[in-house]
Amino acid sequence: MGKGGDRQRRRACWQESVRDGRREHYPYQVITSKAEVLDTVGKWAQAEELYRSQLQWARNAGLPGCEAASLNALGWMHHQRGEDDKARELISRALSIYTDLNDVGGLAQAHSQLGGAHFQIGEYPEALGHYRRAQELSKQLGDLQSEAKAMNNIGNILGEQGDDPGALALYQRVLEVSLKSGNVFMEAVVSGNIGASQLSAREYGRALEMFSRQLELGGRLGHKLLMSAAYGSLAGVHLKMGELDRALEYISQRIRMAEETGDIKGQAMAWDYLGNVHYTKGEHGPAESAFLKAVQLGRRANIKFFLCSFLQNLACLYLDTDRPSQAAEANGQALELAGEMGLPEAAFVSRRIAAKILALSDPQAAANALKDLLPQAGDKEREAEVLASLFEVTGDDDSRLAALKLYRELNGKTPTAEYGQTILRLERAKK
């Protein structure tokens, strides 16, 4: 073949390549890969600029598969920033294109991304539907990695709904797949999720181990979002353990990295942790400022699950500083969010706070409300919290002794600063 044929071969190679089983034009692939690297290292503004230029190029070139991939990438970018309304819009457009193309791999990815956008704002049934569909499509393709990703996401929903054993079982399966395949990113993600399950179970040593592993792997990958999440999680464990100075170190890292990347959700969670540190120290002014900042960012990102917790913390602070009307307003908003998301545990916390607020005006009605909550406690910790609140409202020593017994039992299994302080308070209240 002459020189013209060589030029034609070079032209064909330049125009098309294959990635993840899909044909893509080579320039598109190269620039998209660059955008993905920028995304990974937290340079989201630069990554977004490239994704948008890719989207326009794909439209002009009449390449719907590339257009859908760019829409999906842009949607996930907005999701990471906490802008989930825009994320759903863009990813839904990608889903429509993938449906027209009958691109099973693209459909699996888009369903996974849509699940994430719904999950972040507390729309768990919608998120679960997308995650299960992603799992089905991944199985159809024989794509074990994507199936593991779907299992991890389903585990997240189970965890938020209180099924920690179910979540942990899925996470362990995902971890096995990640280790066998050498998928460091997925190992980092699921390590963090296993840590969260252990934190919920108050297995603090194991939680620290898993979050530290996530931080190490995130650092190895240069993945700032993973590192930021790990810093926040480590802060949460040390806060639970009463190691406030250590918690502050991680909170500072979390805020810095979240601000660098534009991670609104991460910023909100870090400010809430900072509020809890100040609150524990009795520094109510700084605590209030931090909680209000968390609420502001939580509203901006529309992260309903976390916003519910932020509002409950703010309500408790208002109650402790003799501002019952403000406490009632913040707690009422939290209870409404818990109802919207169908989260009985969050609703339980708000109802207990509401009873303590009611006690200021009608102690008997508050006592009745707390007694009604006792059968709904579900575990020893929540039962202890209700009994302690009942003692505070009524002065009933039987409630005090029952709460004290439970807290001693809980503290014997997993000692924490919070348990220790509560035990001391109940002991000093002895009649």
Task: Give the C-alpha separation, 116 to 241, whole Å.
Answer: 30
**Tokens 């406030």, residue?**
244
Over residues 398-420, the pLDDT tens digits come to: 999 999 999 999 988 888 878 88
Best CA proximity match to 106, nearest among 140, 156, 154:
140
Is 125 buried (19+), middle (13-18) or exposed (0-12) by CB count in 10 A? exposed
In this prediction, residue 260 carries a pLDDT of 87
CATH class of 8-142: mainly alpha
In this prediction, residue 144 carries a pLDDT of 87
In this prediction, residue 25 carries a pLDDT of 66
Q: Return the domain boundaries, the chain.
A: 8-142
Over residues 119-156, the pLDDT tens digits come to: 877 788 999 999 999 999 999 998 888 999 999 999 99
pLDDT band at 3 (very low <50, low <70, confident <90, very high): very low
In this prediction, residue 14 carries a pLDDT of 40
Longest dimension (CA), the chain: 102
> If DSSP codes are grouped into helix, strand and coil, which group holds residue 17?
strand
Look over the chain and give the mean of its residue pLDDT values, rounded to a whole number.
88
CB 322 within 8 A of CB 285: no
Over residues 279-335, the pLDDT tens digits come to: 999 999 999 999 999 999 999 888 888 999 999 999 999 999 999 999 999 999 999
In this prediction, residue 431 carries a pLDDT of 60
Mean pLDDT of 62-82: 86
Percentage with pLDDT > 90 across the chain: 58
Best CA proximity match to 88, nearest among 125, 49, 130, 50:
130
pLDDT band at 8 (very low <50, low <70, confident <90, very high): very low
Task: Give the C-alpha separation, 317 to 327, whole Å.
Answer: 8
Going by the DSSP 8-state scheme, the letter that residue 360 receives in this structure is: T
Most confident of 55-59, 68-72, 259-263, 292-296: 292-296
Q: Which helix (H) or strand (E) holds 19?
A: strand 17-19
Residue 132 identity (one-letter amino acid):
R
Mean pLDDT of 371-385: 90
**Tokens 């240069």, residue?**
222
pLDDT band at 58 (very low <50, low <70, confident <90, very high): confident
Best CA proximity match to 276, nearest among 326, 239, 230:
239
Best CA proximity match to 194, nearest among 151, 224, 228:
151
User: pTM above 0.85?
Assistant: no
